[in-house]
Chain A
Amino acid sequence: MWGFLKRPVVVTADINLSLVALTGMGLLSRLWRLTYPRAVVFDEVYYGQYISFYMKQIFFLDDSGPPFGHMVLALGGYLGGFDGNFLWNRIGAEYSSNVPVWSLRLLPALAGALSVPMAYQIVLELHFSHCAAMGAALLMLIENALITQSRLMLLESVLIFFNLLAVLSYLKFFNCQKHSPFSLSWWFWLTLTGVACSCAVGIKYMGVFTYVLVLGVAAVHAWHLLGDQTLSNVCVFCHLLARAVALLVIPVVLYLLFFYVHLILVFRSGPHDQIMSSAFQASLEGGLARITQGQPLEVAFGSQVTLRNVFGKPVPCWLHSHQDTYPMIYENGRGSSHQQQVTCYPFKDVNNWWIVKDPRRHQLVVSSPPRPVRHGDMVQLVHGMTTRSLNTHDVAAPLSPHSQEVSCYIDYNISMPAQNLWRLEIVNRGSDTDVWKTILSEVRFVHVNTSAVLKLSRGYHGSTVWNVEEHRYGASQEQRERERELHSPAQVDVSRNLSFMARFSELQWRMLALRSDDSEHKYSSSPLEWVTLDTNIAYWLHPRTSAQIHLLGNIVIWVSGSLALAIYALLSLWYLLRRRRNVHDLPQDAWLRWVLAGALCAGGWAVNYLPFFLMEKTLFLYHYLPALTFQILLLPVVLQHISDHLCRSQLQRSIFSALVVAWYSSACHVSNTLRPLTYGDKSLSPHELKALRWKDSWDILIRKH
């Protein structure tokens, strides 16, 4: 029992010094002079505004990705004590002293630095040699585009970090699978795979590509597991269940969690409110909530309401009427009823108020106790300011002649009786006796005489559904008094709680449905230009000197990466065909290694690159960086394979190694030459800049003096 006292306490630690060295070098290259330039660089202007929103806890909507990425950046701001007071309006603007530039840029830089040792580990876990692994890490270390991208307040490096983490932890898990399934480390790596995947997806939707890759590889491995008849059915079932939980359930839960935290953090109303539904807006502090607070929940006969179209496209608008009438004859010769116009108006206005009237009574005030309106009740809608009631009849509508015109009825005494009875249908009712509720109920007005439905034209099914946004119990029977009442805003206090799932699904839906107009950008590029690095992006230019930062890759690495990919594809095809004819060039374990490395690295490149050909949004060079990292992982794999299996003699092997060393030093040289454009620390002369413009399509800024 006391045995441990008899022996000395010994801690044995295996420290892989190369790993430590790589991490150190990674940190050095990414963190060196991190606060320089102390100015807004390129997309920082875009992410910065969201960080400010987080700091001020104001709600915003961004269609570029789920909130986790913005939250990571905002965490940097929080750690640095940023108060959010900075106007993000111009690239190149000098940061004021309250902006903690170092801590804002720290997290992306750390992610970029840690990608270097992770590349080392991934190649090692693929069972390639220590040299190959070092090669991969060193390539990551000197790749200029990766350095630039991770030294700024941008998300790509974080995305790459989680992509690599997902692949690495899957590989660790897969290697555990062979000797110790269901062990602690097995569970750890499996769970970490799921977590990393969902983080990647949470940063940018692009992360889905890597997630799909990992899922695909996992599915193939699971299928093999299924075919393993040495395992019992129960055991196989447990394996599958564990994978399903870790790779499907955990990511979904985490993804929801990101939104949950996001909605907790940004609870104040802000400039993007308008896009959301009334219910959502009411759940934010300030804004609509301030107006709608204290409204009676149940709409009663005599209530004064504004009716907002739920569909909200192209702009949210409210049912509206005003003194003007439809023209007697339209331009194309059709006639109208010449009654008062009814429109949908996208601005708040006193003419948006309607009074819900009981057709059997004359009064326009809420009786006490209020008689709530229920699903299926017959109502009239009386326009508050003109006291005319909403009417429709068999007259062609002004713009959609197939539909009936909607007007506020004016009695011209021409044997056209009022048809102003509407039946209320609550679309999202729980039961048939539901009460019409403010904000929450989505209702439809069915015309009693013609069973037509009140609809906003141009839209589709959603456009027949309305909800009450502002609501109060009318108290004035007199018209004058009522007008005054309508003009004055009503205020009382109750909160409306929308469940998290409802808020999440609405937010997610709007994010996906939001279409920013496809804007052309000076530095946008097409996917074909990426592979050969025919394009660059000028990120920043010093206001006085010609020091500048560019997103520009190390062309030696890019070209040899693509070359390695082509070699991999051709060799694989060759091996496959030969194996089909029963010629086995590679021993089985080498073949399996080759296939797994290809599936993850070449596959990773393909899933992160090819989908861009189908996308219609504006694309930039930095979209290629995740694919590039997978290409960099593939490079040493192919090199080692050539040296191990295709070089036949020791002499060939030595020559090949010499070539590789020469090639790597040329990559280092290129990296060093481009360094001024990567860090932007040195102002070059126009002549030197011209000398760096190796391709005509590169846009390097040269000041004219």
Chain B
Amino acid sequence: MPPATGGGLAESELRPRRGRCGPQAARAAGRDVAAEAVARSPKRPAWGSRRFEAVGWWALLALVTLLSFATRFHRLDEPPHICWDETHFGKMGSYYINRTFFFDVHPPLGKMLIGLAGYLSGYDGTFLFQKPGDKYEHHSYMGMRGFCAFLGSWLVPFAYLTVLDLSKSLSAALLTAALLTFDTGCLTLSQYILLDPILMFFIMAAMLSMVKYNSCADRPFSAPWWFWLSLTGVSLAGALGVKFVGLFIILQVGLNTIADLWYLFGDLSLSLVTVGKHLTARVLCLIVLPLALYTATFAVHFMVLSKSGPGDGFFSSAFQARLSGNNLHNASIPEHLAYGSVITVKNLRMAIGYLHSHRHLYPEGIGARQQQVTTYLHKDYNNLWIIKKHNTNSDPLDPSFPVEFVRHGDIIRLEHKECPLKKIWRWEQKETSRNLHSHYHEAPMTRKHYQVTGYGINGTGDSNDFWRIEVVNRKFGNRIKVLRSRIRFIHLVTGCVLGSSGKVLPKWGWEQLEVTCTPYLKETLNSIWNVEDHINPKLPNISLDVLQPSFPEILLESHMVMIRGNSGLKPKDNEFTSKPWHWPINYQGLRFSGVNDTDFRVYLLGNPVVWWLNLLSIALYLLSGSIIAVAMQRGARLPAEVAGLSQVLLRGGGQVLLGWTLHYFPFFLMGRVLYFHHYFPAMLFSSMLTGILWDTLLRLCAWGLASWPLARGIHVAGILSLLLGTAYSFYLFHPLAYGMVGPLAQDPQSPMAGLRWLDSWDF
């Protein structure tokens, strides 16, 4: 029995939150290995052991890192076509290079880094990234893939170092590293232009630096302590900047910090001033610093994307005035709404869009068969409406009439302005301009609301076309301002309010959003609109520069839009969606590329050996953890060795188990569409738990059988067989990640046929 192990662990029990910093800790762990080496070859001279152990420590780390890089970069260029979500993130990278504004549900950092990598590696942003399967041809894509693979490769050494620090055991760390290196899922996910490798890089970096600064706790305010603390903050900002999933690791660090402060606060030897200093340091490094960095990424994002692009319509009118190329940029338009003006009407709720109508009718059986009215997120000629008096149909733009402004409380008619472009090629039917109309028919999706249609011929309709225009929180008789007035349209006959439910219409409605007239008069943003474009040649124009929003306003608005976008990603009816309980059992993978047997197929699926081992380990951990906890609560006296090992199991294991819980269970509560790859951050934690658990259990086993001569062998043999087992399973399953061509696995002739262990895997 090497005394070093027991000694080191007992020490960590006596001073539970005091570890040692960086190299010292490593040396302590290295001593263990060295001691093992000494035990195995007693002839080795003792004076050389220290240097030997340091060299061995670095060599092992280098080996792990090298192996990780080698597996990740192997056949990185294949397949030379777009795989899966590369079509989104590659495209967004291109947007940064072209500086066009776009909208995405994730914060910008990840895509910005991809764009930067592409830019530095000579990609010019001209590839369209239209759909998966498109060939890259001469476009340089290796820079972006290489960047993602580079970050993805660091996951393994980070996990290795984290486990080493938590368990002080090289074998646990090695086991973890092997599990991650040889997991086909992690490998596949790191090889493409995706956000996940970047996200996981920051998550693991945060975890590692948090563990490191925990182990510096005995030397507070020293240089390494500050270094690791602020590095934690930086990584947190990075994780949150890539995806909102970063919130989970923030939560974990937050809980750890609260526990840490609670411990310090209870330490009566520390004065309140010192505790205050600790608190301030953490607030600075873990709250202020990340927030500043996070905001900075948005500042860069808005600075880089200065041109109008496909994302404009998601944002408010004022926001769009910032983007060059947008018709609101440097625009000057008439300030007050007058009869005869041509306008676009935008819903005030984020990501609903403009009031829109097109020449298609509501289908049979859905309300009255009249022209559809929807909201549409993009700029379009069909968004134009003319505002007219309810009782006359004369052309108000006739110069002989005086200008008459629309006032709060007026009764108006909104006539759809026919699209001048479409007239050329739509010859079947003469275009007519319809009035915005509503009646007592149920709306297509929201049954309790009334349907809104386009009705009438050339402006002649019936009394159901009359709407009262009202400005929210203003007095009757006021004029209506462009962009700034928040207006409601109240249907005169039924008394309902024009609004958009935000629900997506089925195919017949071109998947635009539903417009309804709601009988519930509660004031919600869904039923409030503003006028955006405004054309009236009879009125003087004013400049819109006064509307320029400030940076905090932009920041807030883009977050609102992102959150709405995220919750809007609802699974469609009857569509098969991945459920969170599928994930840990590796129930079903994701097709990255290729469907048929002639295609180059890549299939994202975890290495089942690794994943099922992880699953088993969680169960085993809960079992052994509770046995130990109950034994300690009953006051059982554990031998020093066992007490040390159980401390590792409860503290180190608990830390990563918490990580797994935080990165997994919140998905059960999410209403949005979920995918298999959402599990991978949790899988990293689960692999670390496996490493710690098996190492500790094997050590306990060896200790329990200490009387038996080969007891030490149990530990070595156990770890070795686990390492070899994972390596062999990787050898079996590697075609999933590196790509396969040939018959599908359902075909008995396929080389993968024997590996289709679950019917639900379709590779």
Binding site for B on A (CB under 8 A): 223, 226-227, 229, 233, 236, 313-314, 402, 451, 458-461, 517, 519-522, 577, 580-582, 614, 616
Contacts and interface: CB of A to CB of B under 8 A. Distances in A.
A313 B595 contact: no
A609 B576 CA distance: 32
A144 to B, nearest CB: 24
A614 B635 CA distance: 41
A629 to B, nearest CB: 26
B364 to A, nearest CB: 18
B447 A226 contact: no
B634 A229 contact: yes
Instruction: From B449, B574, B760, name the one whose CB has the most chain A CB atoms within 10 angstroms.
Output: B574
Given A402-B595, A581-B265, A522 B669 contact: no
Given A521-B448, A522-B520, A581-B268, 20 more contacts: A226-B630, A226-B633, A227-B635, A236-B634, A313-B574, A314-B573, A314-B574, A458-B575, A459-B576, A460-B576, A517-B447, A519-B448, A520-B448, A520-B449, A520-B518, A520-B520, A580-B265, A580-B266, A581-B272, A582-B268
Interface in B446-489: 446-449
B750 to A, nearest CB: 13
B671 interface: yes
Nearest to A458: B574
A197 to B, nearest CB: 23
6 contacts: A223-B633, A226-B630, A459-B574, A520-B446, A580-B262, A580-B266
Contacts of B573: 314
Nearest to A452: B746
Given A451-B746, A519-B447, A227 B574 contact: no
Given A229-B635, A314-B574, A580-B266, A461 B447 contact: no
B630 to A, nearest CB: 6
A402 B272 CA distance: 69
Contacts of B635: 227, 229
Interface in B420-460: 446-449
A451 B750 CA distance: 15
Contacts of B634: 226-227, 229, 233, 236
Interface of B: 262, 265-266, 268, 272, 446-449, 518, 520, 573-576, 595, 630, 633-635, 669, 671, 746, 760
Contacts of B671: 616
A581 B265 CA distance: 7
A519 to B, nearest CB: 6
In the complex, the 10 A-B pairs of residues with the closest C-beta atoms, listed nearest first: A460-B576, A580-B266, A226-B633, A227-B633, A458-B574, A229-B635, A580-B265, A314-B574, A614-B669, A520-B448
Nearest to B445: A517
Main DSSP-derived SS at the B contact region = loop
A253 B520 CA distance: 45
Contacts of A223: 633
Main DSSP-derived SS at the A contact region = loop
Nearest to B521: A522
Contacts of A226: 630, 633-634
Nearest to A236: B634
Contacts of A616: 671
Contacts of A236: 634
Contacts of B574: 313-314, 458-459
Nearest to B263: A580
Contacts of A460: 576
A461 B587 CA distance: 12
Contacts of B669: 614
A224 to B, nearest CB: 9
Contacts of B448: 519-521
A226 B633 CA distance: 6
Contacts of A313: 574
A519 B518 CA distance: 13
A402 B591 CA distance: 14
A90 B160 CA distance: 67
A182 B636 CA distance: 26
Nearest to B746: A451
Contacts of A451: 746
B502 to A, nearest CB: 12
Contacts of A229: 634-635
Nearest to B671: A616
A695 to B, nearest CB: 14
Nearest to B577: A460
Nearest to B275: A581
Contacts of B520: 520, 522
A402 B744 CA distance: 13
Contacts of A520: 446, 448-449, 518, 520
Nearest to B575: A458
A227 B262 CA distance: 23
A336 to B, nearest CB: 20
Contacts of A582: 268
A516 to B, nearest CB: 11
A373 B68 CA distance: 55
A614 B630 CA distance: 34
Contacts of B266: 580-581
A330 B448 CA distance: 37
A458 B571 CA distance: 13
B56 to A, nearest CB: 44
A309 to B, nearest CB: 13
A236 B634 CA distance: 10
Instruction: From B265, B633, B671, name the one whose CB has the most chain A CB atoms within 10 angstroms.
Output: B633
B638 to A, nearest CB: 15
A226 B635 CA distance: 9
A229 B634 CA distance: 6
Instruction: From A517, A520, A616, name the one whose CB has the most chain B CB atoms within 10 angstroms.
Output: A520
Contacts of B630: 226
Contacts of B518: 520
A614 B669 CA distance: 7
Nearest to A518: B446
Nearest to A223: B633
Nearest to B449: A520
Contacts of A581: 265-266, 268, 272
A229 B262 CA distance: 28
B591 to A, nearest CB: 11
Contacts of B575: 458
A616 B272 CA distance: 45
Contacts of B595: 402
B265 A577 contact: yes
Contacts of A233: 634
A229 B631 CA distance: 11
A471 to B, nearest CB: 28
Contacts of B272: 581
B272 to A, nearest CB: 8
A460 B268 CA distance: 61
A152 B593 CA distance: 61
A461 B449 CA distance: 37
Instruction: From A313, A521, A581, name the one whose CB has the most chain B CB atoms within 10 angstroms.
Output: A581
A263 B760 CA distance: 36
A605 B560 CA distance: 30
A57 B709 CA distance: 73
B604 to A, nearest CB: 19
B693 to A, nearest CB: 23
Contacts of A580: 262, 265-266
A223 B449 CA distance: 54
A625 B448 CA distance: 27
A172 to B, nearest CB: 26
A577 B258 CA distance: 13
A460 B262 CA distance: 50
Contact of B760 (A461, A522, A577): A461
A704 to B, nearest CB: 13
A458 B268 CA distance: 65
A314 B635 CA distance: 57
A519 B443 CA distance: 13
A684 to B, nearest CB: 23
A81 B427 CA distance: 71
A7 B448 CA distance: 77
